[in-house]
Amino acid sequence: MEQLRGACIIGQSGGPTAVINASAYGVIRTALDNPNITAVYGAAHGIKGVLDDKLYDMSKEDAQELELLKYTPSSALGSCRYKLADPDVDDTDYKRILEIFKKYNVRYFFYNGGNDSMDTCNKVSKYMQKMGYECRVMGVPKTIDNDLNGTDHCPGFASAAKYIATSCVEIWQDAHVYDTGMVTIVEIMGRHAGWLAGSAALANLMGTGPDFVYLPEVDFDMDKFLADVKSVYDKTGKCMVAVSEGIHYADGTFVSEAKASATDGFGHAQLGGLAALLAETVKEKTGAKVRGIELSLLQRCGAHAGSKTDVDEAVLAGKTAVEAAVSGVTDKMVAFQCTRDGGYKCEAILQPLDIVANIEKKVPLEWINAEHNGVTQDFIDYVLPLIQGQNPITFEQSLPRHARLKKVLTNP
Amino acid sequence: MEQLRGACIIGQSGGPTAVINASAYGVIRTALDNPNITAVYGAAHGIKGVLDDKLYDMSKEDAQELELLKYTPSSALGSCRYKLADPDVDDTDYKRILEIFKKYNVRYFFYNGGNDSMDTCNKVSKYMQKMGYECRVMGVPKTIDNDLNGTDHCPGFASAAKYIATSCVEIWQDAHVYDTGMVTIVEIMGRHAGWLAGSAALANLMGTGPDFVYLPEVDFDMDKFLADVKSVYDKTGKCMVAVSEGIHYADGTFVSEAKASATDGFGHAQLGGLAALLAETVKEKTGAKVRGIELSLLQRCGAHAGSKTDVDEAVLAGKTAVEAAVSGVTDKMVAFQCTRDGGYKCEAILQPLDIVANIEKKVPLEWINAEHNGVTQDFIDYVLPLIQGQNPITFEQSLPRHARLKKVLTNP
Tens digit of pLDDT for each residue in A381-391? 999 999 999 99
DSSP B190-217: -SS--HHHHHGGGGGGGT-S-SEEE-TT
Q: How confident is the model at residue B358 (pLDDT cuts 50, 70, 90)?
A: confident
Beta bridge partners of B185: B241, B292
Contacts of range B250-258, beta carbons closer than 8 Å, 24 or more positions apart: B250/B219, B250/B221, B255/B220, B255/B222
What's residue A198's pLDDT?
Answer: 98
Determine whether the interchain pair A271/B294 forms a contact, defined as Cβ–Cβ distance below 8 Å: no
Among B114-118, B232-236, B376-380, name the one with the lowest average pLDDT: B114-118
What's residue B320's pLDDT?
Answer: 98
Which whole-number Å values give the CA distances from B158 to A15, B8, B16, B77, B349, in the listed order? 32, 28, 14, 22, 19
Element (H, E) at A212: strand A212-214
Among A59-63, A269-273, B168-172, name the one with the lowest average pLDDT: A269-273
Q: Which of B192, B304, B300, B179 is nearest to B244 (CA)?
A: B192
Q: In 10 A of CB A140, how many CB atoms? A: 29
Q: In 10 A of CB A21, how many CB atoms? A: 34
The answer on pLDDT for A267 being more than 60 is no
Burial class (CB in 10 A: 0-12, 13-18, 19+), B207: exposed
pLDDT, average across residues A283-307: 94
Element (H, E) at A242: strand A238-244
Interatomic CA distance for residues B322 and A372, integer angstroms: 51
Element (H, E) at A106: strand A106-113
What's residue B259's pLDDT?
Answer: 53
Q: How confident is the model at residue B262 (pLDDT cuts 50, 70, 90)?
A: very low
Secondary structure class of A56 (helix, strand, coil): strand
In chain B, count of helices (H) and strands (E)? 13, 13
Q: How confident is the model at residue A269 (pLDDT cuts 50, 70, 90)?
A: very low
User: Which residue of chain B has the CA closest to A388?
Assistant: B398
Q: In 10 A of CB A192, how many CB atoms? A: 15
User: Which residue of chain A has the CA closest to B200?
Assistant: A399
The answer on pLDDT for A268 being more than 80 is no
User: Which residue of chain A has the CA closest to B177?
Assistant: A78
Secondary structure class of B182 (helix, strand, coil): strand
Determine whether the interchain pair A297/B269 forms a contact, defined as Cβ–Cβ distance below 8 Å: no
Chain B hits for A186, Cβ within 8 Å: none
Beta bridge partners of B56: B42, B409
Secondary structure class of B403 (helix, strand, coil): coil
In degrees and rounded to multiples of 5, residue B34 shows phi and psi of -100, 125
Q: How would you classify residue A295: left for phi > 0, otherwise alpha for psi between -120 and 50, otherwise beta?
A: alpha
User: Which residue of chain B has the CA closest to A389?
Assistant: B398
Parallel/antiparallel/unpaired status of strands B55-57 and B37-43:
antiparallel
**Continuous H helices in A104-194:** 115-130, 157-175
Query: How many Å lie between the alpha carbon of B360 and the closest alpha carbon of chain A?
Result: 24
Instruction: Supply the mean pLDDT for chain A.
Output: 94
pLDDT, average across residues B4-13: 97
Interatomic CA distance for residues B248 and B256, integer angstroms: 8
Interatomic CA distance for residues A88 and A263, integer angstroms: 45
pLDDT, average across residues B307-312: 98
Q: What percent of chain A lies above the pLDDT cut of 90?
A: 91
* Predicted TM-score (pTM) of this structure: 0.96
What's residue B286's pLDDT?
Answer: 87
Parallel/antiparallel/unpaired status of strands B238-244 and B182-188:
parallel
Q: In 10 A of CB B369, how many CB atoms? A: 16
Contact B183, B286 (CB under 8 A): yes
Q: Which of A308, A345, A343, A315 is nearest to A158 (CA)?
A: A308
Q: How confident is the model at residue B1 (pLDDT cuts 50, 70, 90)?
A: low
DSSP summary character for residue B328 = T
pLDDT, average across residues A163-179: 96
Angle (CA) A314-A33-A113 rounded to 5° is 30
- Type of residue found at B257: E
Contact B307, B126 (CB under 8 A): no
Positive/negative CA dihedral, B15, B19, B25, B27: negative
Q: In 10 A of CB B338, how many CB atoms? A: 15
A234 is known as an active-site residue: no
What's residue A259's pLDDT?
Answer: 53
- Type of residue found at A357: A
Q: How confident is the model at residue A272 (pLDDT cuts 50, 70, 90)?
A: low
Contact A311, B310 (CB under 8 A): no
pLDDT, average across residues B200-214: 98
Determine whether the interchain pair A399/B169 forms a contact, defined as Cβ–Cβ distance below 8 Å: yes
What ranges make up the beta strands (E) of B35-104? Answer: 37-43, 55-57
In degrees and rounded to multiples of 5, residue A332 shows phi and psi of -125, 155
Chain B hits for A176, Cβ within 8 Å: 74
Interatomic CA distance for residues A160 and A146, integer angstroms: 10
Chain A hits for B293, Cβ within 8 Å: 294, 296-298
Tens digit of pLDDT for each residue in B57-76? 999 999 999 999 999 999 99
Q: How far from chain centre, in Å, is Cα A56?
A: 24
- Type of residue found at A142: K
The answer on pLDDT for A9 being more than 50 is yes
The answer on pLDDT for B190 being more than 90 is yes
Angle (CA) B218-B212-A189 rounded to 5° is 115
Determine whether the interchain pair B400/A74 forms a contact, defined as Cβ–Cβ distance below 8 Å: no
Among A39-43, A260-264, B23-27, name the one with the lowest average pLDDT: A260-264
Determine whether the interchain pair A75/B177 forms a contact, defined as Cβ–Cβ distance below 8 Å: yes
Query: How many Å lie between the alpha carbon of B276 and the closest alpha carbon of chain A?
Result: 5
In chain A, count of helices (H) and strands (E)? 13, 13
What's residue A257's pLDDT?
Answer: 84
Among candidates B202, B264, B272 on the partner chain, residue whose Cβ is nearest the Cβ of A264: B264
Determine whether the interchain pair A304/B166 forms a contact, defined as Cβ–Cβ distance below 8 Å: yes
Q: In 10 A of CB B303, how many CB atoms? A: 31
Better-predicted residue by pLDDT, B3 or B266 = B3
**B contact test, residue of A296, A382, A388 with most B CBs within 10 A:** A296
Among candidates B262, B293, B399 on the partner chain, residue whose Cβ is nearest the Cβ of A169: B399
What's residue A395's pLDDT?
Answer: 97
Determine whether the interchain pair B80/A167 forms a contact, defined as Cβ–Cβ distance below 8 Å: no
Q: How confident is the model at residue A250 (pLDDT cuts 50, 70, 90)?
A: very high
The answer on pLDDT for B266 being more than 60 is no
Chain B hits for A44, Cβ within 8 Å: 179
Task: Enumerate domains of chain B plus CATH numbers.
Answer: 6-155+303-357+390-400 (3.40.50.450), 160-301 (3.40.50.460)
Chain A hits for B269, Cβ within 8 Å: 268, 271
Determine whether the interchain pair A272/B276 forms a contact, defined as Cβ–Cβ distance below 8 Å: yes
Chain A hits for B392, Cβ within 8 Å: none
The answer on pLDDT for A48 being more than 50 is yes
- ipTM of the modeled complex: 0.96
Determine whether the interchain pair B179/A75 forms a contact, defined as Cβ–Cβ distance below 8 Å: no
Contact B334, B348 (CB under 8 A): yes
DSSP summary character for residue B11 = E
Interatomic CA distance for residues A169 and A208, integer angstroms: 6
**A contact test, residue of B268, B383, B397 with most A CBs within 10 A:** B268
DSSP summary character for residue B409 = B
Positions of B marked catalytic? 145
Tens digit of pLDDT for each residue in B213-227? 999 999 999 999 999
Chain B hits for A68, Cβ within 8 Å: none
Query: How many Å lie between the alpha carbon of A338 and the closest alpha carbon of chain B?
Result: 19
Instruction: Supply the mean pLDDT for chain B.
Output: 94
Among candidates B273, B384, B398 on the partner chain, residue whose Cβ is nearest the Cβ of A389: B398
User: Which residue of chain B has the CA closest to A161?
Assistant: B399
Among candidates B170, B300, B398 on the partner chain, residue whose Cβ is nearest the Cβ of A304: B170
What's residue A286's pLDDT?
Answer: 87
The answer on pLDDT for B257 being more than 80 is yes
Contact B132, B92 (CB under 8 A): no
The answer on pLDDT for B307 being more than 70 is yes
Q: Which of B384, B402, B399, B283 is nearest to A383 (CA)?
A: B399
Q: Which of B312, B303, B360, B367 is nearest to B22 (CA)?
A: B312
Angle (CA) A408-A409-A412 rounded to 5° is 125
The answer on pLDDT for A335 being more than 70 is yes
Interatomic CA distance for residues A298 and B296, integer angstroms: 12
DSSP summary character for residue B178 = B
Tens digit of pLDDT for each residue in B286-296? 899 999 999 99
DSSP B225-287: HHHHHHHHHHHHSEEEEEEETT-B-TTS-BHHHHHHTTS-SSSGGGGS-HHHHHHHHHHHHH-
Determine whether the interchain pair A268/B262 forms a contact, defined as Cβ–Cβ distance below 8 Å: yes
Determine whether the interchain pair A174/B73 forms a contact, defined as Cβ–Cβ distance below 8 Å: yes
Catalytic residue among A116, A145, A152, A228: A145
Query: How many Å lie between the alpha carbon of B257 and the closest alpha carbon of chain A?
Result: 14
Among candidates B74, B177, B399 on the partner chain, residue whose Cβ is nearest the Cβ of A166: B399
Q: How far from chain centre, in Å, is Cα A159?
A: 9
Chain A hits for B17, Cβ within 8 Å: none
Interatomic CA distance for residues A37 and A9, integer angstroms: 10
Query: How many Å lie between the alpha carbon of B262 and the closest alpha carbon of chain A?
Result: 9
The answer on pLDDT for A229 being more than 80 is yes
The answer on pLDDT for A330 being more than 50 is yes
Tens digit of pLDDT for each residue in A65-85? 999 999 999 999 999 989 999
Chain A hits for B401, Cβ within 8 Å: 206
Better-predicted residue by pLDDT, B326 or B273 = B326
Determine whether the interchain pair A271/B266 forms a contact, defined as Cβ–Cβ distance below 8 Å: no
Which whole-number Å values give the CA distances from B324 to A103, B27, B39, B332, in the listed order? 76, 11, 17, 9
Positive/negative CA dihedral, B210, B212, B215, B220: negative
DSSP summary character for residue A209 = S
Secondary structure class of A277 (helix, strand, coil): helix
User: Which residue of chain B has the CA closest to A262?
Assistant: B268
Interatomic CA distance for residues B102 and B132, integer angstroms: 12
Determine whether the interchain pair A293/B297 forms a contact, defined as Cβ–Cβ distance below 8 Å: yes
Interatomic CA distance for residues A7 and A19, integer angstroms: 24
**B contact test, residue of A173, A266, A281 with most B CBs within 10 A:** A173
